[in-house]
Amino acid sequence: MTSTATSLIKSEAKRLGFSHTGISSACFLEQEAPRLEKWLKNNMHGNMSYMERNFDKRLDPRLLVDGAKSVVSFVLNYFPEAKQIDPEAPKISRYAYGKDYHQVIKEKLFQLLNFIRENIGEVNGRAFVDSAPVLDKAWAQKSGLGWIGKNSNLINPKNGSYFFIAELILDIELEPDLPITDYCGTCTKCIDACPTQAIIKPYVVDGSKCISYFTIELKDAFPESLKNNFDDWVFGCDVCQEVCPWNRFSKPTQEPAFHPREGLLEMSKSDWHEITEDVFNKVFKDSAVQRTGFEGLKRNLEFLKNQ
């Protein structure tokens, strides 16, 4: 039954559009515990206080789902076929070109959970998409979906790193997959290219120095010391992915919801700096950019303008 259930889940996940599926046995993440503790102790989470909460749950999925036996990890490619047209326009991370991934992936996971219950039996489980205390990259790596690179992104040898990660934590035994080798080698392109030197050493990113943190998470004013270091990023940052050699294998997403929204890539530098709240709400309806809000985006644009 274990083998049959595993095949059924992976087959249905592929039908729903997930790029890859991997499975791990639910257990305490022993290796990650001291790393997470040290990262938090050194305040590398900045003002993201939510990272301090539920420490035990982040490390043990059995505290999130009673009787949990398996963590099923999924990746979904979001790499766009096109880029922003105006080279001088403020830049947003590619993951925000289309519809908010939380909505898109949650719907797929609920469909998959229903499928599991209809075809395998009474299964207790929960779906997670980057909004709960789950170390998604650690589980994805553990289940063989890639290795965690020096820029702390999950890298798949066939598809690079432009994808979202999600999980189902289930109370049934499934066949676990094996981790794969780390192929970063001696490469330091991501470390060398980071505009704010947020990758303080291989495999360690100081979140409080990352452009994505400043443009999305931080609600306060930007430190003056960052002037001229934002490389025109106004929401998120893709620099460490753009320079990663493994992303030469990235393929355009087949998920229609992640295709760039109409008019976004055509926005010029002046369009961005003159954006009104009405235009913002129209262009970024159901977008991850709503996370920073109109006022947050205006603050980011103002900071770029004054550099």
DSSP string, 169-211: EESS------------TT--HHHHH-TT--EEETTEE-GGG-H
Predicted local confidence at residue 50, as pLDDT: 86
Q: Given the structure tokens 């305040």, which residue do they identify?
A: 43
- Give the C-alpha separation, 150 to 210, whole Å: 14
Tens digits of per-residue pLDDT, 269-295?
999 999 999 999 999 999 999 999 999
pLDDT band at 201 (very low <50, low <70, confident <90, very high): very high
Q: Return the DSSP state at 221.
A: P
SS3 247: helix
Q: Given the structure tokens 């990663």, which residue do they identify?
A: 244
- Give the C-alpha separation, 299 to 246, whole Å: 34
Q: CA nearest 272: which of 248, 298, 247?
A: 298
Q: Find the catalytic residue in 130, 136, 177, 182.
A: 130
- Give the C-alpha separation, 234 to 304, whole Å: 8
Amino acid type, 42: N
Predicted local confidence at residue 306, as pLDDT: 72
Q: Is 130 a catalytic residue?
A: yes
Tens digits of per-residue pLDDT, 110-130?
999 999 999 999 999 999 998
Predicted local confidence at residue 307, as pLDDT: 66
pLDDT band at 148 (very low <50, low <70, confident <90, very high): very high
Predicted local confidence at residue 199, as pLDDT: 98
Predicted local confidence at residue 220, as pLDDT: 84
Asked if pLDDT for residue 227 goes beyond 80, the answer is no
- Give the C-alpha separation, 69 to 87, whole Å: 49
Predicted local confidence at residue 224, as pLDDT: 82
Please state whether beta strands 125-128 and 163-170 pair in parallel, antiparallel, or not at all (unpaired).
antiparallel
Predicted local confidence at residue 194, as pLDDT: 97
- Give the C-alpha separation, 94 to 83, whole Å: 8
2-11, 41-50, 77-86, 236-245: lowest mean pLDDT where?
A: 41-50
Query: How crowded is the C-beta side of 141, counted as CA atoms within 13 Å?
Result: 18
Q: What is the mean pLDDT of the chain?
A: 95
- Give the C-alpha separation, 60 to 64, whole Å: 8
130-134, 171-175, 192-196, 215-219: lowest mean pLDDT where?
A: 130-134
Predicted local confidence at residue 231, as pLDDT: 92
The radius of gyration of the chain from alpha carbons, rounded to an integer in Å, stands at 20
* b/e code 191-212 from CB counts within 10 Å (16+ = b): bebbbbebbeeeebbbbbbbbb
Tens digits of per-residue pLDDT, 12-57?
999 999 999 999 999 999 999 999 999 999 999 998 888 888 999 9
Average pLDDT over residues 127-139: 92
Maximum pairwise Cα distance, the chain: 62
- Give the C-alpha separation, 31 to 59, whole Å: 10
Average pLDDT over residues 70-74: 98
Q: CA nearest 241: which of 127, 115, 138, 149?
A: 149
**Can you give the residue ranges of every domain in the chain?**
1-307
Tens digits of per-residue pLDDT, 77-118?
999 999 999 999 999 999 999 999 999 999 999 999 999 999
Asked if pLDDT for residue 167 goes beyond 70, the answer is yes
CA angle 170/102/265 to nearest 5° reads: 150
SS3 161: coil
Q: Return the DSSP state at 162.
A: -
Question: Sign (positive/negative) of CA torsion 301, 152, 132, 285?
Answer: positive
Q: Return the DSSP state at 92.
A: E
Structure tokens at 267: 């926005």
Predicted local confidence at residue 1, as pLDDT: 62
